[in-house]
Chains A and B, each alone.
Chain A
Amino acid sequence: MLGYLLRRTAWGAATVLGVLLFLFALFFLYATPQDVARRALGEKAPPEAIAQWLVNHGYDKPAVWNPADPLDTRLAEHLRRMLLFDFGRSDADDVPIAQRLRDGVGPSLSVTLPLFTLGLPLALSLALLVAFFRETYIDRVGVVLCVLAMSVSVLVYILGGQYLLGKLLRWFPISGFDPAPSVLLRFVALPVLVGLLAGVGANVRFYRAVFLEESGRDYVRTARAKGAGDARVMARHVLPNALIPVLTNVVVEIPFLFTGSILLESFFGIPGLGSITVDAIQSNDFATLRVMVYLGALLFIAGQVLTDVAYTLVDPRVRLG
């Protein structure tokens, strides 16, 4: 038992290391920092300024091996910074990345939290409904609607939402953000609605499949044979047993609560981590982009390890790989 937990954690740590090495190869060995420096300092920057910038951002050190001091390399620096969460400054405008993350988490959460807390019950209850009425018109219409909803690009949802609800009906501001409680809700409403609509199809379909799979199992048949009603079977037997795949799916989404939604935030002008990422992409800010990929991966891995551990604690027979 303990051995398994230790092994699982070690495996998670190894994956984090793998991610860091991958990022290092991508951003330090493949991409050249001179380009980033020129972009940050502008066309007219003299060579001395570029050299100075490279020193300030630690891009001047040897990449992997420094005979004089084995720890004074870009690789060591990269690992040290990432593992200690000492992210340094943005390549684009020298703002500390940690500060930027602190500023961005709030706005991101104010969109993703409602999206998550409304989206999960909505998808679950719709899926239950559809599964409950399986083989009826509700099921068939429901599944077709889900596939329809899944086949529309998110971009189309966003543009349509802004145009219809923002411009034509004037229900919500078309974009923008303000953390003041009196106006926060109206800024968040439209992105959350659009996010719900864009995500509900795939989720309902997935949960429906889970529920149907579960209701096909022997114990459900037994319960039904004993005379339990449909609704009772659903609520008492199917739902609890379907929770494991549901939970697994939910855990996968948790990192995105923090990293925010790239598309929603950019289109609706929400200054969260998602739009920070887009800005980083558009301004070639490798330092920030690196940190965002790393944090996303870290949260993902942590979530995986924790669920596996939780499953093991609840049911020692479960061994998820």
Chain B
Amino acid sequence: MEGHVLGNAFAAAIVLLAALAAWRLRASAFWRERLGEIARRRPIATVVVALYLGVALLDSVAWRDAQPGEASVEARSLLDRAFPADFRERSYSAPLAAVEFYGGAALAHPGRHLLGTDILGRDVLHLALGGARVALLIGGLTSLIAIPLAIALGLAAGYLGGRTDDLVFFLLSTLASMPSILLLVALIMVIGRGPVQVCLALAVTSWVNFCRVVRGETLKLRELDYVSAARALGVSELRIVWRHVLPNLSHLVVITFVLTFSQLVLSEAILSWLGVGIDGSWGQMIDQARDELARDPIIAWNLGAASAALFGLILAVNLVGDALRDVLDPHTLRERT
């Protein structure tokens, strides 16, 4: 399957999930109230996170223009379409400059590159915005793999206890004891490079955290009166888990997801530096721009744009995550992160 089709499917899935979640949440007074509280506490951060999400989605929806007679090779996303079709220069140019940085030849689009251009003459603003999609992919796809797995195993371990619990706990402590960056690299070296592989490796290292939270909470919930009562009434175990345990875990999963998200994106930056990152990520832009600090006059806009884009997202997510934790769960997770 081609890359952009996959991207479209992914974007559609995200929108669908979001719509579903919104519909479900509107029905619950608990969530409606809490989410409103977060938006009130961190209005700017919430808007920033939403903006990043929007840009990422715009960049995920892409299609090819079939022009008669001429083959258009690349599928262009909505984000690409927001920029002029041939928005290129020959090489470096400073933000808003009218001439090339070295040599001073006239630009094709003078004064229109808000953040300048990179060594290949690509618009840095465009590249930096494009990084949002990769960040979302890292966070989203990884969680999509890790969370269901973690919930299934964590629930099984916590609820069933005994041998199952021992086995899951053994798996958890085995994975958790290996240095995570090394484990990541080793996994990627062995299973190969590529966005899906990187997310898979990240999922292997990050599901541990989810699973531990789910298992711990399930252990507690299992002993609660209403669960015992349900069991005494002869409600089937599966139904107890579905109706009484799972809903009480959801807020923990949401918090853990938000708090893990920034870790994932920052880990990818290190993977990029080790040469096994995902194409188009901010980590890759930083890695590529690091040598430019030694140029004289120095070229800082590349590094600056990528670092700022990365920093903005992580900061906003961290702030929202803090607020989420304070609002949804004042006790359980306080000392975790």
B partners with A: yes
Do A153 and B170 have beta carbons less than 8 Å apart?
A: no
- Using known A-B contacts A152-B307, A153-B286, A293-B186, determine if residue A300 contacts B177 with beta carbons closer than 8 Å: yes
Contact of A26 among B179, B190, B275 (CB under 8 A): B190
Q: Is A213 an interface residue (CB 8 A)?
A: yes
Residues of B within 8 A of A193 (CB): none
Do A155 and B177 have beta carbons less than 8 Å apart?
A: no
**Which residues of chain B in 178-192 are interfacial with respect to chain A, using CB atoms and an 8 Å cutoff?**
178-179, 181-183, 185-187, 189-191
Contact of B310 among A14, A18, A22, A153 (CB under 8 A): A153
Q: Determine how close the nearest CB of chain B comes to the CB of A278; give it in whole angstroms.
A: 7
Rounded to whole angstroms, the CA-CA distance of A150 and B311 in the bound complex is 9
**Which residues of chain B in 229-282 are interfacial with respect to chain A, using CB atoms and an 8 Å cutoff?**
262, 266, 269-270, 273-275
Residues of A within 8 A of B322 (CB): 147
Specify which of B171, B273, B322 lies most central, judged by the most chain A CB atoms within 10 Å of its CB.
B273
Residues of A within 8 A of B119 (CB): none
Residues of B within 8 A of A206 (CB): 335, 337
Give the number of chain B interface residues (Cβ < 8 Å).
42
Do A297 and B178 have beta carbons less than 8 Å apart?
A: yes
Q: Is A281 an interface residue (CB 8 A)?
A: yes
Q: Is B283 an interface residue (CB 8 A)?
A: yes
Q: Is A65 an interface residue (CB 8 A)?
A: no
Residues of A within 8 A of B183 (CB): 293
Rounded to whole angstroms, the CA-CA distance of A149 and B182 in the bound complex is 24
User: Per DSSP, are chain B's interface residues mostly helix, strand or loop, or mixed?
Assistant: helix
Q: Is B67 an interface residue (CB 8 A)?
A: no
Do B174 and A15 have beta carbons less than 8 Å apart?
A: yes
Do A209 and B334 have beta carbons less than 8 Å apart?
A: yes
Do A296 and B182 have beta carbons less than 8 Å apart?
A: yes
In chain B, what residue has the closest Cβ to A154? B270
Q: Is A219 an interface residue (CB 8 A)?
A: no
Residues of A within 8 A of B179 (CB): 255-256, 259, 292-293, 296-297, 300
- Using known A-B contacts A18-B174, A153-B266, A293-B178, determine if residue A163 contacts B293 with beta carbons closer than 8 Å: yes
Q: Is A172 an interface residue (CB 8 A)?
A: no
Rounded to whole angstroms, the CA-CA distance of A296 and B171 in the bound complex is 17
- Using known A-B contacts A19-B178, A150-B318, determine if residue A156 contacts B270 with beta carbons closer than 8 Å: no
In chain B, what residue has the closest Cβ to A153? B269
Q: A155-B270, A278-B274, A282-B275 are in contact. List 9 more A-B contacts (CB 8 A).
A: A14-B170, A18-B171, A19-B178, A150-B262, A155-B287, A256-B179, A262-B181, A289-B182, A293-B183
Instruction: List 20 A-B pairs, Cβ < 8 Å.
Output: A14-B170, A22-B174, A22-B175, A31-B190, A148-B315, A150-B314, A152-B311, A153-B269, A153-B283, A153-B286, A154-B270, A156-B303, A156-B307, A159-B290, A163-B293, A209-B335, A277-B182, A281-B185, A293-B178, A293-B186
